[in-house]
A and B are shown apart, each in its own frame.
Chain A
Amino acid sequence: MFIINCPYCGERDQTEFSCGGEAHIERPKQPTELSDDQWAEYLFMRKNIKGIQFERWNHIHGCRKWFNVVRDTSNDKIHAVYKMGERPPVK
């Protein structure tokens, strides 16, 4: 059960948050111009890394803000937390 440092509220228990899967998958600006394969890539394909992973989290039982988390899935260490729209910190 991790402690997540919400960029808006500070450290809170994991039970206050929900995970929204892989981060930095931008919705295509012009979906109609994509082939089925390109759209499927956006829609379905997600990484499932053992190691450093970039994730979206939502402080759903708190400020309800979305933000990004850099987490090592092998040991649950959180290396960075940053707001939506910000660039991911360099590893």
Chain B
Amino acid sequence: MSNNLRINKNNFIDHTVRISFKFNGKKLFGYKGDTLASALLANNIHLVGRSFKYHRPRGIMTCGSEEPNAIVQVGNDPALTDPNVRATEIELYEGLEAFSQNCWPSVNFDIGGINNLLSPLLPAGFYYKTFMWPASFWEKYEFFIRHSAGLGKSPTKPDQDLYDHQYVHCDVLVIGGGISGILSAKLSAEKGLNTMLIDDKNYLGGSTIYQDDDIFRIDNETSNVWLKNQIEELKKKPNLTIKNRTSVAAFHGYNYLLARENLTDHLSGNERKEKIRQRLLKIRAKKVVIATGAIERPLIFSNNDRPGIILSSSIKKYIDYYGVKTGESISLFTNNDSAYETAISLNKSGVKVKVIIDIRENSNSILSQKIEKTGIKILRGYTITNTDGYKRINSIEVMKLSKDGGSVVGNKITYKCDCLGISGGWTPMVHLFTQSGGKLKFRNNDNVFIPDENKTPSEQISVGSSNGDFELDDVINNTVKNIKIFLGLDKNNYENLDIKCSKEKQKRNIWLLPSNKPISKTKPFLDFQNDSTAKDVKLALREGFKSIEHVKRYTTTGMGTDQGKLSNMHALGIIADTTGTNMGELGTTTFRPPYTPLTFGAIVGRNVGEFFDHTRRTAIHDWHVENKAEFENVGQWKRPWYFPKNGETMYQAVQRESKAARESAGILDASTLGKIDIQGEDASEFLNRVYTNAWSKLSIGKCRYGLMLNEDGMVYDDGVTTRLGENHYIMTTTTGGAANVLSKLEDYLQTEWPELNVYLTTVTDQYSTMSICGPNSKKIIKKIIPSLDLSDESFPHMSFKNSKIDNVNCRIMRISFTGEHSYEINVQSNYAKDVWERCIEAGKEFNITPYGTETMHLLRAEKGFIITGQDTDGTLTPSDLQMDWIIGKKKYDFIGKRSLYRSDTIREDRKQLVGLLTDDPKEVLEEGAQLVESLEKPIDMLGHVTSSYFSPNLNKSIALAIVRSGKKLKGKKLIVPMENKNINVTITDTVFYDKENKRLNA
């Protein structure tokens, strides 16, 4: 292990704990406190990946969440591997394995690198332009394009990790643990407010915590020492919660924020076991302080993407915090004073700073004076025009800038170096502010978008460099002043601190630095992750794209996993320069959550597997399981689908069940049907208004089928309602419609008809329902309840009786969804399984056959009964369903009545429900199949099949369909064109079986 890039000088890295890890299979070492990036750099590894489009070698460029290049695949377990993780954010742990992405066969030799040579042929919009024609070739292109798309590899097996959600409520949420965040949290906690401080790192203090130069002093201490003491005091506050390794992903309205807390990603495999990996915090804060800081900008010049080119402030962090030299011979390139701070740190650590190239003509701040004393060479008014070195930078070409900065003059000078630090100024992290709805304003003198304090949507404030304060004294003084007002504080200890720092005096900014070559011969990268260059942006503008949002999408600038944290400002600047627009008028692209990518695991939390959705089981469910039912999901319900015997297929089971139900007796668990208890003196009037038919004259003890419409006249739900007493009804709804019907009825009662005295209560779960049908059903009921008078006179079809089974009250309805003589027993659910078993026992001698939803569907289709939601789809009126008989024409009004004679609903060529018989009675149609009259093109689609079965009782195939003008087409021959054949069908009546309803009383 080459450790000559390590310097021992700080207490952030624990040099006593050596950690071994693997990168691309090679075993390496780092120390506790390292990130994967710092450990790789200490091992002199800069090349970590290949770029997305051109497969150019790319290295570590930053030290934080803005990293565009160093994104790696962590782990190779098919369930746990994690793609697109930023090496700069992975804390090193024993056994860590990481791999380069987007390269094959290896990061050192990547076949895709050929794209780099072809790059003149791959401009912005290349794929859009090239794969347009011929259209029929798309299927051939698609395979290859899909293969080259995407970066990392998704896990192929289910995630075994645990994730959690937690609700958090606090008075003040402070986002960011840098100096302004620490001060804000301290002031808030000292005021006694319940405060939470969030930072995405594993330590607090931001960049000040390793700023030990004596230029920066607070109250006679260096700024790092002062801040460290503040943090120690802060940690003692009882009303403060600190969340490290936590990143705020989203800032929604009303101060609702989502943050992801990493709990185990920094631990080794063994330490992770049984622990929650990540927790999604759902935070509701009364006030929010955004102290998210700023990130350094790169500079845009040709070949600015080589491994070894690193943001200047990151070089400083690697040396000051991690004790890692990013090179032995470092040059710096800047347009501001930040690079001088880096030079001071490097100089102190004994790293040679070859040259500082500053595009400004002069600079006379305290920082630059200090650098001058060290003798480091500074080239003022110069720029870099090109760099060299394929897998690592090895030299730079430097030329003098013209006065206006638009071109270069003189001769080029070449400097050798193995690392180049670049600094293009700072961009405040305003993402969260704008996500919350805040508007930005543009500050011209240093080209930054900062929060507009007059356009802040909620109780929030931005402080520190995220608010555009970049000098230490401004950061502290403005934070203290603004927080004092924001939190309504009295005097505090931070108002008159003695602060010393350097102040930047000269500024110069050139978004796209000039070169001695024409732009077409250069490669000035803007978005490193998506490989878009300044050339692409200019091309987009030439091709007529004007809006920043369009340019972004056309060039994909800012659309990588880093969301353009480094690239967006330069893209805007280049557009503004090229089009002669002011950047403030141009605006920014929209900042959308999440700030950094979230795992799906964190998003779903515990709501996976059986917890993904509720499962509703009937009280008789266990019996169905014991009797080998296959289940069907109906909404959240598990309903028996069919009961296969002795290895029957579904078809065989359903044929047997259907025959048994008609020949002797069948029993169905109908408990899932919605049941609404309706009471109140206006209950009858209420039913009159919600159903299409008349209800006032229904006598007590009688049942009636009702159809419910939407106000637009379309069938919404149906079911049987029974009058239990003078002012008491029980309504049944479809299984899937139960909740919506209740809500809809409540809506009308509360808002349109508050004068009606009616109460609705859902009793779906309280009562269980079993339906016994078939010619022997009467005998079975008689065996169970011998005292009950089952004569047709006393207990006719569509009537109801209260009864008892032993001491258990039950309601028995004589209603039928199969067309057979049938009874429905309703009992309190906790007795349901027992009653069901009695029915089975009593029915044994009659071969009582349990059947499921499939047989139920078949039996009702034989009778032409509709299933709302299967035969209807919200576009059919009762008349379309040939159910005109159910419309109470004399009724003054009911929901949807007026819509039944709108010009559109009375059209005769509407789609209407019909029956279908196939010419070949053995041929069963597919549900959803289209119906046509002729096969001559263009083919006119007349309708489609909604229900289709082979009827064992009729020994032929039957189907229901909706067909244009279907009512008039009885007897007409149509064709069902299928993939391999055309099926001939004839339109019939919708009722196939027992048209005279004789069996109801059989």
Contacts and interface: CB of A to CB of B under 8 A. Distances in A.
Interface of A: 1-3, 13, 20, 26-28, 30-32, 34, 36, 39-40, 43, 56, 58, 60, 64-66, 75-76, 84-85
Contact of B751 (A34, A43, A56, A75): A56
Contacts of A58: 743, 747
A34 B899 CA distance: 11
A85 to B, nearest CB: 6
Contacts of B899: 39, 43
B435 to A, nearest CB: 12
Contacts of B751: 56, 66, 84
B903 interface: yes
A31 B895 CA distance: 10
17 contacts: A1-B256, A2-B253, A27-B752, A30-B893, A31-B893, A31-B897, A32-B892, A32-B898, A58-B743, A58-B747, A60-B743, A64-B743, A66-B747, A66-B750, A75-B253, A76-B253, A85-B754
Given A2-B253, A58-B743, A75-B437, A32 B750 contact: no
Given A66-B746, A76-B437, 12 more contacts: A1-B252, A31-B898, A32-B897, A36-B903, A39-B899, A43-B899, A65-B750, A66-B750, A75-B253, A75-B457, A84-B750, A84-B754
A53 to B, nearest CB: 15
Contacts of A13: 284
Contacts of A60: 743
B254 A3 contact: yes
A20 B740 CA distance: 13
A39 B256 CA distance: 41
B902 interface: yes
A34 B901 CA distance: 11
Contacts of A28: 898
Contacts of B457: 75
A66 B744 CA distance: 11
A57 to B, nearest CB: 11
A50 to B, nearest CB: 14
Interface string B422-463: 000000000000000100000000000000000001000000
Contacts of B252: 1
Contacts of A43: 711-712, 899
Contact of A36 (B746, B752, B892, B902): B902
Contacts of B743: 58, 60, 64
B762 to A, nearest CB: 10
B256 to A, nearest CB: 4
Given A34-B898, A36-B902, A60-B743, A1 B254 contact: yes
Nearest to B903: A36
Contact of A20 (B253, B256, B284, B747): B747
Residue of B252, B256, B752, B898 most packed against chain A (CB within 10 A):
B898
Interface in B698-751: 711-712, 743, 746-747, 750-751
A64 B903 CA distance: 36
A22 B820 CA distance: 47
Interface in B870-910: 892-893, 897-899, 902-903
Contact of A40 (B747, B754, B897, B902): B902
B119 to A, nearest CB: 45
Contacts of B897: 31-32
Interface in B235-283: 252-254, 256
Contacts of B750: 65-66, 84
B763 to A, nearest CB: 16
A64 B754 CA distance: 15
B666 to A, nearest CB: 38
Nearest first, the 3 A-B pairs at minimum CB distance are A31-B898, A1-B256, A66-B750
A9 to B, nearest CB: 15
Contact of B254 (A2, A39, A65): A2
B898 A39 contact: yes
Contacts of A65: 750
Interface string B970-981: 000000000000
B254 A32 contact: no
Contacts of B754: 84-85
Interface in B671-713: 711-712
Interface string B511-550: 0000000000000000000000000000000000000000
B902 A1 contact: no
A54 B575 CA distance: 42
A84 B284 CA distance: 29
A14 B284 CA distance: 12
Contacts of A76: 253-254, 437
Given A1-B252, A43-B711, A32 B747 contact: no
A85 B755 CA distance: 11
Nearest to A84: B751
Contacts of B898: 28, 31-32, 34, 39
Residue among A1, A56, A84 with the highest chain B CB neighbour number at 10 A: A1
A3 B255 CA distance: 10
Nearest to B711: A43
Interface in B743-798: 743, 746-747, 750-752, 754
Nearest to B455: A75
Contacts of A34: 898
Contacts of B284: 3, 13
A29 B743 CA distance: 22
A85 B897 CA distance: 25
Given A84-B750, A85-B754, A39 B253 contact: no
A78 B329 CA distance: 60
A27 B284 CA distance: 39
A33 B253 CA distance: 45
Contacts of B746: 64, 66
A39 B752 CA distance: 16
Given A2-B253, A84-B754, A39 B747 contact: no
A8 to B, nearest CB: 11
A68 B243 CA distance: 39
